[in-house]
């Protein structure tokens, strides 16, 4: 993915946030799943991160929060 190579190796949550903000929902969930698999330390704030607000109405959002043990 062009433009995200610096953050991707360190923290996949960042491209997920950018994709969500741009309305690229499928890509956002792909990156957030990678972040979850890599135990990204930025995920605990996912429920309150403004950049992820575009995901809140998606049917995958609540199961994603549940998977992480976060409130919704």
Is 0.75 topped by the overall pTM?
yes
Mean confidence (pLDDT) of the chain: 86
49's CB contacts (< 8 A; 6+ apart) are 17
The region that residue 54 occupies, defined by phi over 0 for left and psi between -120 and 50 for alpha, beta otherwise, is alpha
43-53 per-residue burial string, b: 16 or more CB within 10 A, e: under 16: beebeebebbe
The whole-number pLDDT of residue 72 equals: 79
Break the chain into its structural domains and give their ranges: 5-68
What band does 5 get if pLDDT is binned at 50, 70 and 90? very low
């Amino acid at each position: 993915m062009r433009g995200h190579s610096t953050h991707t190796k360190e923290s996949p949550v960042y491209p997920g946030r950018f994709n969500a903000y741009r309305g690229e929902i499928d890509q956002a969930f792909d990156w957030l799943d990678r972040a979850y698999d890599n135990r990204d330390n930025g995920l605990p704030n996912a429920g309150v991160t403004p950049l992820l607000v575009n995901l809140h109405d998606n049917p995958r959002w609540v199961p994603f929060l549940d998977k992480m043990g976060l409130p919704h």
